[in-house]
Structures are given as C-alpha cells and as structure tokens.
Structure 1
Amino acid sequence: MVEDGRLDKGVNVNGTATERGAAALDLDPFSIESLSDFHAVDEAIREAGDIVFLPQYGVWFTGRYEVVERVFRDYETFESSAGTGMTNIKQKENWRKPSLLLDNDPPSHTKYRRVMTSVLSQRVVRRLTEDFQRTADELVASVVARGEFNAAKDLAEAYPLTVLPDAVGISPEGREHLLPYSNLNFNAMGPRNELYHRAVEEAGDAGKFVAWQMRREALAPGGLGQTIYGYVDEGEIAEEDAGMLVRTFLSAGVDTTIFGIQFALKGLAENPEAWAALRADPSIARKAFEEGLRWNAPSPYIGRTAARDADVGGVRIAAGEKVIMALGAANRDPRRWERPEQYDLARDTSGHLAFGTGIHGCVGQMMARMEATCLLSALARQVDTIELIGESQPFFSNWLRGFTDLPMRVTTR
C-alpha cells in the first residue's frame, strides 16, 4: 500500500480525512513551484487546522507550534524508529542503514545519545572555540577584502566545511563529497521525485567516501571521530555503532549549519537596525543566528510515525500513519510569535523548533551555535556596512531551505 512515501492512488488508510474531521490539502510541498514560495505553503498547512492530510502522499502535516511541540515530546506515541522522513522504514527498506540517533527510540536511542552528548559536551565545545574563532577571523578577512562576494558559498558554506571536518578528523582529500552526500540524505527524507533522483546522480561515489571515513583507521588522531571510537574501547558501544555515529557528523552536521548561517546573513543584510545592533555588540552573534533559525528553519520538516492510535486536535491518527511536523511553519506561527515574518534581534527566540526539542533535539546544536557565533562575530568586528546586491538564488531540496547564491557587498572598518 505504501510506496515511496505515497499511498496507492485512491486508497485511504482507516478512513478519509473528511470522515475524521480534518482538512485535506491539494498541494505538493515538494514541487518547484511550492519550494519557490515556501512561506505560502507553510501558511496553508498551518492555517488549515491543527493537523491536515495531504492525499498526494498519504501523510499528515502539522504546522502549528503547540501541536508540533506536543508531537515532539510525546515520543512514546509518535516514534522515530519508523523513520523521520516520508517513508515508513519498518515497511519499506531505507536507502541507507537507519541512524542510531534520528531513526531510533529509547531505550536503544538513550545509549547512543549519551555517548554523543559526552563527545559534544560544553567542555569540548569550549576547547574547540579558540581554533574555530581563529579560522573564522582569517576567512572573513580574506573574503571581505574583495568587497563583493557570494555569501552563501564564500562564508556560510566555506566555514563549516573547513572547521567541522577538521574537528571530526576527516581526511582533507575527498571533502567535496560531503555536501552531495548530505544533500542526498535530506532529499531522501522526502518523496522520490526529480529532486531526489538528481541528488542520487550528483552524489556519485560520495557514499563510498563516507563509508570509508566512518572507519576508525580513516580518522585523524585527536578528533571527535576517534573520541567516539574510544567508547568502543571502553566497551560501551560496538565498533559498527561508532562508525554510524561518526556518519552523523557527515550527514546531518553540515547543511543545516550552512543554511542557518545563510538566513542569519540575509536577515542582517535586509534589516539595517539588526546589523547595527550586531556591529555595536558582536557578543550578540548567537542571538543573530538563533533568530535566523526561527525566521527560516533550514530543515523545515521532520517526521514521526504513530506507534498507536492517537488524537491530534480532535483528529484520529491511526497507528502506522506518518505525521510530518512543519518546523518552518511552526516557527512563524502567529499564535506563538509576534510579527513572525520579521527578523528581529530584540525577540526572545527561546523555544524555536529549528533544532527540534525533547529527547530527539539536535545533539550537535551547541556545536552549530558555536560555529555560527564565531563567524558572525568575526563579520561584525571587521565589517562596517553590509548589503545584498542582485537576486539571491534558492537552493531546491525536498528537506532543506537555503541559497546557492547570496550576493553581498560590504565595506570594512
């Protein structure tokens, strides 16, 4: 019945949306037309009700902040082990071995989460900060000296693709495979459409590179990857499990940070008062990043599967059915945020859902925050004025939002 995340045409599971008192939306969030105007799609999903049905894919979507937060926290009813994308991986084989963190539930999830929380502890992040800041200062100085540049590539992409692989201990040779692999990972969470098939083609041999870099012998001494393998030596996890945890850095630790920085840069460039505030006080760089994440969630969706019959907003969700949480929509829910469409550094961003929440909240969020803070604070210290020039070009993906081009002009201090 379920094929590539969609129901067979004309089939409804356990009754139609109408019979259950829910709205059904005739839209495809993953079409190029929708991706070109994703805020309109987010609004349509959010304002249609607490939960809505998309017949084309046979899944439920929710874009209301309160509902999304509730689904996140009720991990016993809404499980992750059936996959966090459109496909129920308990019914259909996944394109790769499921993640020990994303596609897992307690008690198994708890063990691996504990390991990664230790690997990425506050102490570790503090230890890395000095080197990360030095790299950020040098990169910003080099880029802004040109006056005009593509901020999407030259800053937001170049920086994380340098510091994170270095910290993990990834070989310098072959790093060009990281983005194509991560792009495939995120596209595979959506439908098997043209975007997915293009990502498969562009990934090429990236899977082989990642499979090698997951191995103990491929990782540089002293890096986070070898730290993970230390837990094998202590008998806490298996050798294969360590490789799977290293893979988390290679598949989920790059794109979301890149696109989050992009949105922060765009927000700062479009809002002179925000840039003036950051320029006057570079210590608020983290706030600039957090508001960028709230303003535009880089990874706008995450899925769960009903482990048992459940009620969401008075609508029955049957066991086995997919619920996709629209994080971008929830982060702009006017029931939760005032003037949600405005990038505003005076806003209290606590509670935004770009990193998820609850036991499955992003385990690397402290690292992402540190990376962005280093880069944005370096920019604030070195740059006087900032503006966008020309049209920004969107990056089209089933499960990511960002830019391929973000043309920018700056003047230095």
Structure 2
Amino acid sequence: MKDTLLKKIHDKKAIVAVIGIGYVGLPLAVEKAKAGYRTIGFDVQESKVKMVNQGHNYIGDVVDSELEDLVKKGLLSATNDYSIVKETDFIAICVPTPLDEYQQPDISYVKNSATDISKHLKKGSVVVLESTTYPGTTEELLLPILEEGSGLKCGQDFFLAFSPERVDPGNLIYKTKNTPKVVGGVDKDSTEIAAAMYRNVLKCDVFEVSSPKVAEMEKILENTYRNINIGLANEMAIICHKMGINVWEVIEAAKTKPYGFQAFYPGPGLGGHCIPLDPYYLSWKAKEFNYHTKLIESSGIINDSMPEYVVERSSKILNKFKKPLNGSKILILGVAYKQDIDDYRESPALKVIENFEKEGCIVDYYDPYVKTYKYKGKSKESIKELDKEALQNVDLIVITTSHTKIDYEFIQANSMFIFDTKNVMKNIKVRDNIELL
C-alpha cells in the first residue's frame, strides 16, 4: 500500500485535498496544483469556495493570474462537501487553532475536521495536520478520531503525520514554496510518504523528525522564541524610556556584534495568528505535566500589556498640551498586524483603539490595506485619505503599523504631534513633534 501511494505521488496521480483554504491552506493548495496534482480545497465559508472556483484570489501571498490559470486548467477547485475526501489520496488539514476567551487552546476546528474526514477516509491515503497546536494533538486527538470514524487502522490502512505550517504573510523572500518543511509521522512509513509529497511540490529542504510530537513542539519553539525575545525588547523599551535612552539606537548598536545577538524590536504588542497564541498552547500542555512555564508566561504578560502602555504614554504626551485623554481626537496609522499586508488577526492596534475608546477618546484610523475591520462584534472603517485636514484635525497621531505606502514626511509636516511605536519615522529629519516608543 505504501509503495502504491508513493508511486501515485511520484507520477503526480495522487489527488490532494486541502481542508481550510485561508492564509495557510490556499497558498498550499496553489503550490500543489502548480506541481501538477489535482487539488481540491475545502472550506465551510461559501464565499471562499465561490471565489476560488471563479479564479478570484483573496490572499495576498497568492498570485491572481496563477490561481485563475490553475482553475481554468482543472487543477484546482473548491467545495464545502466533505465527501470529496473519498476521492483523495493526500489530505492536508489547515484549519484555525485559536485561543478561547480564557486563553485556552480551541481545537474544535481540528476535531470537527477530523470527525468529518473520518467518515469518508479511504484505504491507502495519508492525512497531514498542518495547523499549529500543542504537542500530542496528532496522536492523542486526531489518530483516535480517524480510526474510530473510518474503521481503518493507522499504519495499515492509512497514514498520518504532522507538518507545521510556516507561513509569513507579506514576506517577500520566503513563501510556502521555498520555506523548509518539517515532517513527523506516527510511523516511518507515514513520515516517508508525507515527506515525499512535500519534496515533489516544494523547492526547499524537507527535514524528517522521529514523531509528530517533535514536529509539533518544533513549531511551538519557533514562535515562543520570537515571543520571548519581543517581550524582552518591549521591556527594554519601557526601561529605556524611563532612563531617557533611545531603545532603537541601543538595538542598532547591539546588532553590530557578529555573534550571540539577534535583533528583535519593540512595538505596541504582538499580532498575527501564531506568535501571540502559540506559547499559550505550550503553557496549557505543560500544566498536564505539573510544570509552570514561568519565562513564557512572563513574556506574554509584557507583550499583552503593551497596548495599555501605548495609551498610557499617549496620555502623558497629551498632558504636555494640557489635553486630557477624555475627548481627545486620536488618529491611528495602521491596524494590520504587520507592514504592507491586509491581515489584522490579533493585531495590537485593535486593542490600542479599544483602550483609547474606553478612556473617552474619539478615535479614527487609516490603513491603505485594511479598509474596514470587525473586532469584538463591532465594525470600524478607515478614513479615506491622509490629507492636511485629516491630520490637522486630531490631537495626536499614533503609528502602530509601519506601512511603506504612507508619506511620513507629509504626516510630520502637517501634524500636531506623533507617537511612533514602530520607529518608522527614523529618517525624518525634523523630529520636534515626534516621540518614539
């Protein structure tokens, strides 16, 4: 059975299903289709299904013309019918793994997907979980659901592995196709089969590990490493401000060391689907082993507190002009969680806006990529353009995303005061109305 599936993969005869066609799933589906595999994307959102089938793109990292061409050639299609699984040989699960309101892992999307897949799973297929999750999910959650629901035996009738997604929206160098892949199967055959598919599709190294748990923990380590180091940078920013030291200059100086230091930068908080969330998955799982993740949770507290710190600093800036927070007009520049993308998942800017509004501020925002957003059941629209009137009609401008499409010299020349939390105005020569984080 293994050899038959490997031959299908080698000959591009394997049919691929990608469950969840969002920021992770759609780029993966496109790459598999580009490699010559007939690929079917599944999503519960009818709007995404319709857009894919019409050849219309909704993800920044996907090239519109490539998507349209793949659909026309019949290599890529989408559906919301799980019965397509019975036609497929390779099933990649790319569904969300958010936190609930108590900062506990919400793996309901993975659980529900596995349950639905199990009803149609056929002999001789391989299932690969790509969604970031806690160590043990593949073997402790996914495996029993797939076996019980299908009546098949893993290792004999089907194969199972974990391969963490490494999507970085907006990255101009590393995309799905050229970012190295880590693969860990429940057995050697599962690892070999999953790795064979990725090697046939991607132009990158495929690193095989001994188990799904290793691959799951590897992804958690990646993002916890970044979370902790950004927490350090944020704490340094707070300390440096109290001491009257420019933290951005400190970091630039530290970067000159050719070993032992990697630069991380402070900001208004952490955003995106992975870095703010993944450490909580590890902390939650560690409690099962009677261990409290002190360092990880400390960095989380620091990063989570940054939106409040931004408002606190803004209050002190406004006090210089004898203006209280209550009633002040604030303009936020950028609500996307990183520069030059339209993704605002977990964006700290949304929390900054929320905290300003709690203090009675009148808040508008401008983002050339995010025309409107929804947060905690409320919608907000970006102002249309950054003209003189928009800039001169506010008491304070707070920069929370370093978009490159914005004319920062124009902003400096026409604004009363600017609080730059991203150091995006570092090259502006006249700085008398600019304060850095």
- Give the TM-score band, short-chain normalised: under 0.3
Length-normalised TM-score, structure 1: 0.24
Whichever structure has more helix as a proportion of its residues is 1
TM-score of the pair, normalised by structure 2: 0.23
Q: Looking at both structures, which has the greater relative contact order when contacts are Cα pairs under 8 Å and sequence separation is at least 6?
A: 1
Larger Rg: 2
